[in-house]
Structure 1
């Protein structure tokens, strides 16, 4: 593999959506710190190195994409990359299914692939073998439940010319960077795929990274445990380190974690210096790091978006199911993915067996759409109840004065903007819509009044591929169906 020339040193996006001005800040920080303390640079450069190793590994060995293209589309456009372009070395070992990144011969990170669990960052020599252990790789077969609209891999071409035009618009590319890079669009209406399209090299079974759409999957796993009586969202979060009643974190509930109102000091600025970045790309035990965070505000009083809340939820899920990665995989397949007809899914883990339920699940575009269909249908998969009665309404209910629910974004106007300057809602889509949303333009838009699910996946660095683009796509689809 040829040398990869550059990598983002700071301002790594680890979930959610990003604000472009962080790029300018990142450049200023790099210039300032390169003249000063190497110690201060350690964390952001490790974050950058880890981001490259992990996401190129997932792209190459889970999605089956060209690692050079993953680098060019996902890593290289992110942030102040020019300043250290000649210092980066990245090696993809196809035999060992491992990616190694260094910066100036230092800041080495590795990510290794394991069957069924995707890629995880290596922090100790023994971690290289974890991906092949029985705990991670107990076989989990495909669902016996037939997927909705089982067309095989034949792509559904819409007969509606206006719908075709909507897809044309979604896949239109800019002549120069920043690019939109739409990878897949799937439209489901009344339980059936009525339109889909894929970029070259992407197919109906290609698993694509959802980034923070994974938080919505964590919402579903929590919901199933609630239905089974194993968890209660109103109770204190079952985290051993917080059980002393004198500890103010004892008052944090599962609901607070789902709604991003825990008040924990797990700030997510996507600068590389922030604790959320460190948690994901530097720490071996993500949840162990997150549970040590001190309180910044009383639970339920302030909203602050952070992957940390969902990493803690991920540990709660793991522990409620037996404490092993294999327990989580088997549960998710049996209780969620199988019944929903999702057969091309990879949920990724850290080396302690905790799923990265904040930002690291890959699935085919159809399977992301089938996940949305579960919520469109009130938590039912066919005649089988997956989510508790009222869970969908709970998930889409407003948190404080924000456009966030409990693991989903809601289409409500709110004061100010969501993180990174993104508008809270989609102004051209019906108000009853709610959506899962992830970094670089991942969206599942659920519109109950239209019996509609619209999925858009890509690697976007321009607003036309972010929430504004998803708003336009969903609006175009609705307009086309009305005129059909």
Structure 2
């Protein structure tokens, strides 16, 4: 019988080694999951940072509002921003006219302000030169207004108690979030302001973001170029990347871009995961990003709302105007803002000099009202024709079975749902009404049968400040004006 040595195994040491291995395995799995999560969240977090930088910059340096109040009222309650609010850090540099934002110390974005062009997201050191370019040093061309003045310098008080009550109701705030945050209301009847009201810190001369109401201004600029013979809505969209006839996007027309029926894969969900959000808050060249999108539907066959169509229209406008940001600015001032009497307007641009005609124009509530009057008066400013004859009818004509026209929302559709769960139209307002509409409750409502324009602007996150609230406001205003005669 052979003898040998036997070692006793310590079960506690084995257990300890096993625990360590399991711990390392769990840590490894958690790190891998965390890395995957960062990859998934990379785009929406970059979008969130860019959104904060750009909008705080615009409202601080163009509107002149308090950035902390803007963050609290506008940025923090928007979408998923409230869930990451504790991680967001923004810095307003008043000396450099810049806003820088980070999320948990990462995802740094910067927006810079330039006189005349508002705020631009900066992607490289060269981008800040857009604001300092020689062609922006001179002020935009001044043009004598052709439209009649709509009010004197002071705030116009409601002309009767029922009208006052209508504005009281629209400004009445909720006791708990989400809030309405109404900033401005202007009521124009028969070409004159008959009532207006502003929130504290906001006044007659405060330019406010119109968000997607800017799309209606893009409609006007396209109309002006049509009047000048430089464009035709039925022509193929003049986008060089689509010049090949074998490219299915070659068939997309300007009309289909205006009507949101291009069929391009530029889905907009405002979640930060969508390509439209990436285009606006991450990409340096917005139109360059949009023109690369593939088709998801044949042009003209389906309606799908997206900023992408209007960014492409903005590039078309820039190219037709002369190719530079300053050319767009001069065109807008000379042919639109000046003649209509819009006195305090800022159209913003991306870093390549393309206007963000999808969602980034600031103007006073009265200026938005003056813009509405242009469409109420069939494209005329006084005796001068600004838009082609028939353009207003074209813009407010129905697209497929929707509540959309060509850059304006209409009040004629009887069924269907608009984006984000909103109903088509305003059920308590005359059917001939049509309106510009932007995020957080920006509305320019035109009611031809009542010779009326109602503007409502705010930072709303509750239906009472969105289309449902504006429906009630306009209905109350119409009733008050009829009873007050």
TM-score, structure 1 as length reference: 0.92
| SS of equivalent residue, structure 2 residue 80 | coil
- Aligned mates of 2:34, 2:403 — CA distance in 1: 39
What do the CA deviations read for 1:16-72 (whole angstroms, capped 9, x no partner)? Answer: xxxxxxxxxxxxxxxx98673312211100100000000000000000000001100
Task: State the match for 1:29 in structure 2.
Answer: none
Contact 2:187 2:455 in 1 (8 A): yes
Task: State the match for 2:249 in structure 1.
Answer: 249
| SS of equivalent residue, structure 2 residue 457 | strand
- Aligned mates of 2:205, 2:282 — CA distance in 1: 31
| SS of equivalent residue, structure 1 residue 100 | strand
| SS of equivalent residue, structure 1 residue 435 | strand
What do the CA deviations read for 1:147-200 (whole angstroms, capped 9, x no partner)? Answer: 633644301112211111111111111111110010000011111111111111
Residue 113 (1) aligns with residue 109 (2):
no
Task: State the match for 1:435 in structure 2.
Answer: 435
- Aligned mates of 2:300, 2:372 — CA distance in 1: 27
Residue 135 (1) aligns with residue 108 (2):
no
Contact 1:137 1:326 in 2 (8 A): no
* Cα distance change on mapping 1:411 and 1:53 into 2, 3 Å: same
Contact 2:151 2:193 in 1 (8 A): no
Deviation, 1:141, is 4.5
What do the CA deviations read for 1:229-283 (whole angstroms, capped 9, x no partner)? Answer: 0000001000011011101111000000000000000010111011000000000
Task: State the match for 1:274 in structure 2.
Answer: 274
* Cα distance change on mapping 1:451 and 1:295 into 2, 3 Å: same
Task: State the match for 1:381 in structure 2.
Answer: 381
Task: State the match for 2:5 in structure 1.
Answer: none
* Cα distance change on mapping 1:132 and 1:147 into 2, 3 Å: farther
Residue 55 (1) aligns with residue 50 (2):
no
- Aligned mates of 1:352, 1:152 — CA distance in 2: 39
Residue 478 (1) aligns with residue 474 (2):
no
- Aligned mates of 2:151, 2:162 — CA distance in 1: 23
Task: State the match for 1:223 in structure 2.
Answer: 223
Task: State the match for 1:43 in structure 2.
Answer: 43
* Cα distance change on mapping 1:181 and 1:210 into 2, 3 Å: same
Runs of 4+ with >4 A deviation? 32-35
Deviation, 1:394, is 0.2
Query: Which stretch has the larger CA shift, 409-418 or 275-284?
Result: 409-418
Contact 1:136 1:353 in 2 (8 A): no
Deviation, 1:106, is 1.1
Task: State the match for 2:189 in structure 1.
Answer: 189
Task: State the match for 1:449 in structure 2.
Answer: 449
Question: Which has the higher Rg, Structure 1 or Structure 2?
Answer: 2
What do the CA deviations read for 1:58-94 (whole angstroms, capped 9, x no partner)? Answer: 0000000000011001101113345433322110000
Task: State the match for 1:22 in structure 2.
Answer: none
Contact 2:270 2:277 in 1 (8 A): yes
| SS of equivalent residue, structure 1 residue 270 | coil
| SS of equivalent residue, structure 2 residue 84 | helix
Task: State the match for 1:78 in structure 2.
Answer: 78
Task: State the match for 1:122 in structure 2.
Answer: 122
Runs of 5+ consecutive residues of structure 2 not aligned to the other structure: 1-31
Contact 1:149 1:193 in 2 (8 A): no
Query: Which stretch has the larger CA shift, 109-118 or 151-160?
Result: 151-160
Residue 162 (1) aligns with residue 162 (2):
yes
- Aligned mates of 1:246, 1:136 — CA distance in 2: 40
- Aligned mates of 2:451, 2:86 — CA distance in 1: 51
Deviation, 1:312, is 0.1
- Aligned mates of 1:55, 1:81 — CA distance in 2: 13
Contact 1:236 1:250 in 2 (8 A): yes
- Aligned mates of 1:216, 1:176 — CA distance in 2: 33
Query: Which stretch has the larger CA shift, 314-323 or 79-88?
Result: 79-88
Contact 1:208 1:364 in 2 (8 A): yes
Question: In proportion to residue count, which structure has more helix?
Answer: 2
- Aligned mates of 1:76, 1:103 — CA distance in 2: 13
RMSD, aligned CA: 1.4
- Aligned mates of 2:228, 2:119 — CA distance in 1: 30
Deviation, 1:142, is 4.1
- Aligned mates of 2:151, 2:411 — CA distance in 1: 32
* Cα distance change on mapping 1:306 and 1:82 into 2, 3 Å: closer
Contact 1:138 1:326 in 2 (8 A): no
| SS of equivalent residue, structure 1 residue 399 | coil
- Aligned mates of 2:169, 2:104 — CA distance in 1: 42
- Aligned mates of 1:197, 1:112 — CA distance in 2: 31
| SS of equivalent residue, structure 1 residue 37 | helix
Task: State the match for 2:423 in structure 1.
Answer: 423
| Map 1:21-420 → 2, pairs under 5 A | 36-145=36-145, 148-149=148-149, 151-420=151-420
Deviation, 1:477, is 0.4
Contact 1:398 1:410 in 2 (8 A): yes
Query: Which stretch has the larger CA shift, 119-128 or 339-348?
Result: 119-128
Contact 1:342 1:370 in 2 (8 A): yes
Runs of 5+ consecutive residues of structure 1 not aligned to the other structure: 1-31
Deviation, 1:466, is 0.2
What do the CA deviations read for 1:322-346 (whole angstroms, capped 9, x no partner)? Answer: 1100000000000000000001100
What do the CA deviations read for 1:106-162 (whole angstroms, capped 9, x no partner)? Answer: 101000000000001000112123212123443115432266336443011122111
What do the CA deviations read for 1:290-344 (whole angstroms, capped 9, x no partner)? Answer: 0000011110000000000000000000000111000000000000000000011
- Aligned mates of 1:213, 1:427 — CA distance in 2: 20
